[in-house]
Amino acid sequence: MQPVVLITGVLGGIGQAVCERFAASGWRVFGTDLDATGLAGLQAAGKVVGAHAADIRKPGACREVVAALLASTGRLDALVNCAGVWREGPVETFSEEDFDIVLDVNLKATFFMCSASIPALRESKGAIVNISSDAGRQGNRNAAAYCASKGAVTVMTKALALDLAPDGVRCNSVSPGDVETPMLKFQAERYGNGDMSAYYQELLAKYPQGEAARFIQPGEVADLVFFLCQSSTRSITGADLAIDCGVSAGN
């Protein structure tokens, strides 16, 4: 029986890369995102065996996604939480609306997707991989809400690993640096003050490679996520693995 992976935020840059990596290795992929039309396109292209559009900030929607998956595939072997959003700005002017969306998408949705998936993962002795961030390991300027959300994801994952270890379910987080995705482009367009190139250069300036610094590619993140979901890595649980070109190494 081919294993099944559930990917949230499957239409995003990292989500699509994770989808392609698992599908290329013979896994059945079930995806969720907000965009029903985009999900239908993935299904039509044969990239997923099933999909369910949902606002996973709502616990009930998370349960609906897992129910739809089980009705379609009959099992769940891995959950990969890729859904995420970025907002930045000084705390004194940061809006409640931006705070809520960052915490709801990055943390609350991840928490309740784990909650909804755990019973099925117990049966398969499966794995959870949560996409965190270098901002979950260190403070980043003008990103207090994002850092709070990702720091919480990282430590929550460790707590889940302890809770679920007796059941044979492994939980790990992956913490990328700046990944070349549509979200990174959104950051530069929204917060770059009209100069996306300068925004990118400011991000790359923190990397230890100097002039050779580059953004992480989604496929690199996907390879690491896939590795963590293999039976050969059953000794790895409760880990937070950085994939950030060393940007967090000194913190």
pTM value is 0.97
Name every residue whose Cβ is closer than 8 Å to that of residue 83 and which is 6 or more positions away in sequence: 8, 9, 12, 15, 33, 56, 105, 106, 109, 110
CB 128 within 8 A of CB 170: yes
Give the bridge partners for 8, in sequence order: 32, 81
Q: Is residue 251 over pLDDT 80?
A: no
Alpha-carbon span 129 to 150, nearest angstrom: 13
Q: Classify residue 210 by burial, with Cβ atoms within 10 Å: 0-12, 13-18, 19+.
A: exposed
Cβ–Cβ under 8 Å, residues 53 and 33: yes
Q: pLDDT digits over 127-149, tens only?
A: 999 999 999 999 999 999 999 99
Confidence bin at 250 (pLDDT 50/70/90) = confident
229's tokens: 């979901």
**146 belongs to the catalytic site:** yes
CA distance 239 to 251: 17
Residue ranges of the domains in the chain? 4-179+218-235, 180-215
Task: Kindly tell me if the per-residue pLDDT of 7 is higher than 80.
Answer: yes
How do residues 27-59 score in pLDDT, each as one tens digit?
Answer: 999 999 999 999 999 999 999 999 999 999 999
Mean pLDDT of the chain: 97
Question: Residue 168 is encoded by which pair of tokens?
Answer: 């044979």
| Distance separating alpha carbons of residues 162 and 223, to the nearest angstrom | 25
Q: Per residue in 176-232, pLDDT tens?
A: 999 999 999 999 999 999 999 999 999 999 999 999 999 999 999 999 999 999 999
Q: How far apart are the C-alpha atoms of 130 and 239, rounded to whole Å?
A: 11
Contact 145, 103 (CB under 8 A): yes
DSSP classification of residue 139: -
**pLDDT band of 1, cuts 50, 70, 90:** confident
3.40.50.2300, 3.40.190.10, 3.40.50.720, 3.90.580.10: which CATH number matches 4-179+218-235? 3.40.50.720
How is residue 190 annotated by DSSP? H
1, 61, 4, 40: which is closest to 229 by C-alpha?
Answer: 4
* Res 220: pLDDT: 98
Residue of 146, 199, 200, 207 marked catalytic: 146
7 CA to centre of own chain: 8
Integer Cα distance of 50 and 39 in angstroms: 9
What is the Cα–Cα distance from 152 to 67, expressed in whole angstroms? Answer: 27
**Gap between the Cα atoms of 89 and 91, Å rounded:** 6
